């Protein structure tokens, strides 16, 4: 046994306390009657041995909501129905670990080192600086790094997004461009957009390639060559990082469409971006793609002219909206 230690042969009872002790020093320990857990004082912070706290969902969450009393717990539950942006948690002792469980019915987006948390030491560092979306029913784990003075988003079942998002906007007949506004701003204009037209109504839709002609942190402008002939067109877009599936389908010579079965069926709305590839023929066709139908387990795309060989593949990416 170490010097100056004492041994308890049978047991030790700590009388439950209803309030936090005053003037604590490192190493203090008590049993909190209201929380039903042992509480330790470690490096200037009270740390619960095993407990949980609930925080209501809100458009902006930071150390004002995730206070010292909240982060001393081992499990933090986000409740409610409001989509939440999480910018920070009150700083804690080095190596303090918290599991965040999204018990709300909406997504929680974890932002990397964002000014939405006014105190730098309370901010969050994510993998590769990518924002992380924690869907309803999923978790994320945070560990406080006492050297960097940041919370590290260590692991979880959320999806990295780098500010990624996806969406679908209606296009007007006669238009040659559309201005798309993001639901939440990007951290900078250094992002990639892939966009494509969808028309599941017209029998003979136009096939036009899309060019992104402007980008800001709040949105982008997509432009095409000829005025649209009807108002049945939609623009599907993906900003890099959105939760997605992707794959490749083999195409037959002479075809003008293809139906793809998704590797994982979709339970909600989504967008599709696809293009033809051909690494074999010296002079392949160049054809834009239009999405013609979407289902929970399949989607159909079409192009204008019959393929001239069987060397084409359809590369696709889908993203939940």
Whether the pLDDT of residue 40 is over 70: the answer is yes
What's the pLDDT at 296?
A: 85
d(CA 191, CA 121): 27
Q: Does residue 161 surpass a pLDDT of 50? A: no
Average model confidence (pLDDT) across the chain: 87
Q: How many CB atoms lie within 10 A of CB 176?
A: 14
Q: Rounded to the nearest 5°, which phi and psi values hold at 13?
A: -110, 125
pLDDT digits (tens, 9 = 90+) for 63-79: 999 999 999 998 999 99
Q: pLDDT tens-digit profile of 94-117?
A: 888 899 999 999 989 899 889 999
- The 10 Å CB-count burial string (b at 16+, else e) for 130-145 is bbbbbeeebbbebbbe
Q: Summarize the confidence of residues 33-51 as an average pLDDT.
A: 85
- In the chain, domain spans: 51-160, 165-320
CA distance 113 to 90: 14
Are residues 58 and 49 in contact, defined by beta-carbon separation less than 8 angstroms? Answer: no
Residues 178 and 235: beta-carbon distance below 8 Å: yes
pLDDT score of 195 more than 70? yes
Whether the CB-CB separation of 190 and 164 falls below 8 Å is answered with: no
Mean pLDDT of 195-200: 91
Angle at 69 between CA 67 and CA 73, to 5 degrees: 110
Selection from 141, 132, 146 nearest residue 75 by Cα? 141
Bridge-based pairing state of the strands 108-110 and 84-86: parallel
Q: Work out whether the CA dihedral 61, 67, 69, 73 comes out positive or negative.
A: positive
pLDDT in tens, 280-311: 999 999 999 999 999 988 999 999 999 999 99
Rounded Cα distance, 236 and 309, in Å: 28
Higher-pLDDT residue of 118 and 12 is 118
Please, which residues bridge with residue 41 across strands?
A: 46
């Amino acid at each position: 046994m170490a010097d100056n230690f004492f041994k308890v042969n049978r047991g030790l009872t700590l009388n439950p306390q209803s309030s936090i002790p005053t003037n604590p020093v490192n190493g203090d320990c008590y049993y909190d009657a209201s929380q039903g857990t042992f509480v330790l004082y470690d490096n200037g912070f009270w740390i619960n041995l095993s407990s949980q706290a609930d925080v209501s969902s809100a458009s902006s969450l930071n150390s004002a909501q995730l206070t010292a009393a909240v982060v001393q717990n081992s499990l933090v539950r986000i409740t409610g129905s409001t989509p939440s942006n999480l910018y920070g948690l009150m700083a804690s002792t080095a190596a303090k670990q918290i599991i965040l469980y999204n018990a709300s019915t909406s997504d929680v987006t974890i932002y990397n080192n964002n000014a939405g948390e006014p105190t730098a030491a309370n901010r969050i560092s994510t993998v590769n600086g990518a924002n992380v979306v924690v869907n309803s029913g999923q978790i994320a784990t945070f560990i406080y790094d006492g050297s960097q003075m940041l919370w590290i988003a260590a692991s979880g079942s959320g999806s990295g997004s780098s500010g990624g998002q996806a969406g679908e906007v209606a296009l007007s007949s006669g238009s040659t461009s559309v201005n798309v506004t993001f639901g939440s701003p990007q951290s900078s204009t250094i992002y990639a957009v892939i966009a494509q037209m969808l028309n599941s109504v017209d029998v003979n839709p136009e096939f036009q390639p899309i060019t992104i002609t402007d980008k800001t942190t709040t949105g982008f402008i997509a432009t095409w060559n000829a005025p649209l002939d009807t108002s049945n067109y939609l623009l599907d877009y993906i900003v890099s990082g959105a939760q997605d599936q992707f794959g490749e389908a083999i195409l037959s010579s002479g075809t003008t469409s293809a139906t793809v079965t998704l590797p994982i069926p979709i339970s909600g709305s989504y967008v599709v971006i696809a293009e033809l590839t051909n690494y074999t023929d010296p002079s392949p066709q160049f054809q834009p793609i239009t999405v013609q139908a979407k289902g929970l387990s399949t989607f159909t795309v079409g192009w204008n002219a019959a393929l001239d060989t069987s060397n084409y593949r359809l590369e696709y990416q889908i993203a939940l909206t």
